[in-house]
Structure 1
Amino acid sequence: MLAVDLHSHTRFFHGRRRLGDLFDPVGVELLTRTAAARGLDGLATTNHDYYTPFEDRNSVSVLPGIEVTTSDGHVLIVGPDPPVETEQGELTPTETVELAHDRNCAAILAHPFRDSSLREADAGFDAVEINGKHPRTSDWVRELADDLDLPLVGGSDAHYPIEVGRAHTAIDAEELTPESVVAAIRDGRVEARVDDWLPHRAIRKGYRFVHGQKGHFERPEVTTPGFGVPPEE
């Protein structure tokens, strides 16, 4: 099994594209160093609405990716040929999935219960993500994946190197390439895993506060531990 973080960012800020382009080589170096220290085999760089190719480094495979801001939420496109740039809010979920498939990439529904209505879209996603910022929603995500009959993957959504690998994906593949990752996702040869290391729990509390203040969290009709009866009951 290969351990891959399918959702990471090379910078801790959004916008300011020129500054970001200058910082990204530093960011990917820090991400891969942390990934190597935590025993990951690879990570996908999925910056918001743009893709920059990076070479493998620090014994970690750097996979091509992009996080597309669709009209209804965020979609990760991971694979050999992601789009170089997308306009925020311009593509519908269905158009985004079609774009991914046309480029031989996988389309992953990212953080479906944060600032997103994508779970209501019949768009043909390849997988659903358990997001490292708030894995306590994992029961909701698992039920959603069951309803959609889709596999689960994990991604840290790291914007800072310390966050790398806090959620990642175990991939059943003999080699780690963009093509093998896409094939494994589509075949369901993947498993989402979450690291409950104490510093990660502390960071997640901070994110919950920030996103809660912004009104980005949503609760589905089903309930989970802490909010009522767990889905399985």
Structure 2
Amino acid sequence: MQSSNRRRSLGRSPSGPWGRGHNWYRGDCHVHSVYSNGGELTPAELVADARSAGLDFLAATEHNTVAAHGAWARHADDDLLVILGQEVVTRSGHWLALGVRPGQGVDWQYDAQDDVIERHLHEVRRAGGLCVAAHPYAPYPSGTFEYPYQGFDVVEVWNGQWTSDLPWQADNEAALAEWQRSLVADVLQARWMPATGNSDTHLKGQLGSPHTVVLADELSVDAVLAGIRAGRTWVAASGAVELSFTVVAGDRSAGIGERLQTGDEPAVVRVDVRGVPHGTVTLHTEQGEVYRAFLPGTGSGSAAWHSDAQESAFIRAEVRDMEGRMAALTNPIVLR
């Protein structure tokens, strides 16, 4: 159990969501209300929708303003953690500042050529926050992400619907492919950037599609952000999708975002999925896709594959539905 000075739901008492223990928690870390351009829902409506969707937390990320922080505080309750944040909309891309202090705003009037981004990232981290490169391939002015990923903690590879005919929808396939390429180089250098996925909610019916599922020591701001920062997360298209992903070598095992010392023993990779009828499970390493299995009509099934550290430096899983749209994806398990 963490000490009682941990940041909880907008500073609420320990009777709130804080203290629910080491577990997987579902949350949407990119949410807009009527305080953002294009937002049609109030904070109260979004909080109610989050509960209906079975979410444990959400992050309030209004465009370039913290004016809604007080409104979010009024509507959060004991069964839902609200993380205060901001979507920082600059001329060279958008990024999420998650876990800022109440009323703490982040400057947005600059671009990549101004060479000031590191200072603003440092200010967020100094407050205990997390910096997320948002929808890097969004096809609208200022949407394309032009800053180096190296200064950020996490990259949002899944933003909103996986595929869409909407002209403003982010190109998630391109973001995922770029992240995969970065993993190949970064894991071999003992560093890698975790991926996340969020709805970027503006309209009714978008919340939680997709959302991030994080393994945290408790349901508090600090614990959830720590889990995301460490890559102990996977992304789900909806609350109906469930996934378990582990690697076992001898008497040792590792889960998402962890490292496994395989030694000379073969590693058994296992994926268990529910909620994706006629879906496809694939495993990916630095060699690209290395394994494929198909789920039955019930949507529930398991897949197993054998590997070792000589074959693979990391392994991650994807699940797609029968139309080829992403239903779930994981951060990697690193093999040593």
TM above 0.5, yes or no, is yes
Q: Does 1:14 align with 2:40?
A: no
SS in 2 for 1:33: helix
From 113, 119, 129, give the equivalent of 2:137. Answer: 113
Aligned positions of 1:54-133 closer than 5 A:
54-55=72-73, 56-57=76-77, 59-81=79-101, 84-90=104-110, 92-114=116-138, 115=140, 116-118=143-145, 120-133=147-160
Match of 1:216 in 2: none
Higher strand share: 2
Give the corresponding residue for 2:304. Answer: none
Q: Counterparts of 1:83 and 1:75 in 2: how far apart (Å)?
A: 18
Larger radius of gyration: 2
Q: How many residues align?
A: 191
Please point out which of 30, 37, 44 is paired with 1:29.
44
The 5 A counterparts of 1:137-216 are 137-146=171-180, 147=182, 149-195=192-238
Structure 2 Cα separation of the partners of residues 58 and 161 of structure 1 = 23
TM-score (norm 2): 0.50
Deviation readout 1:193-223 (Å, 9 max, x if unpaired): 22399xxxxxxxxxxxxxxxxxxxxxxxxxx
SS in 1 for 2:224: helix
Name 2:57's counterpart in structure 1. Answer: 42
Distance change >3 Å, CA 122–CA 82, structure 1 → 2: farther
> How far apart, CA to CA, are the structure 2 residues paired with 1:13 and 1:99?
23
Question: Scaled by the length of structure 1, what TM-score is found?
Answer: 0.70
CA-based RMSD: 3.0
Query: What displacement does 1:96 show?
Result: 3.1
For 2:100 and 2:219, the matched residues in 1 are separated by: 12
Distance (whole Å) between structure 2 residues aligned to residue 196 and residue 140 of structure 1: 25
- CA, structure 1 residues 160+57, in 2 after alignment: closer, same or farther (shift >3 Å)? farther
Is the contact between residue 71 and residue 90 of structure 1 (CA under 8 Å) also seen in structure 2? yes
Shift of 1:187: 1.1
Task: Check the 8 A contact 1:70/1:93 in 2, yes or no.
Answer: no
Quote the offset at 1:82 in angstroms.
6.9
Identity %: 27
Distance change in 2, residues 1:142/1:161 (3 Å): same
Cα separation, 1, equivalents of 2:117 and 2:144: 10
* Separation in structure 1 between the aligned mates of residue 62 and residue 128 of structure 2, nearest angstrom: 19
Q: Which residue, out of 27, 45, 70, partners 1:4?
A: 27
Structure 2, unpaired ranges of 5+: 1-23, 164-170, 184-191, 241-322, 325-336
Structure 1 residues 87, 165: CA separation in 2 closer, same or farther (over 3 Å shift)? Answer: same
Equivalent residue letter for 1:76:
L
Specify the code of the residue in structure 1 equivalent to 2:77. Answer: R
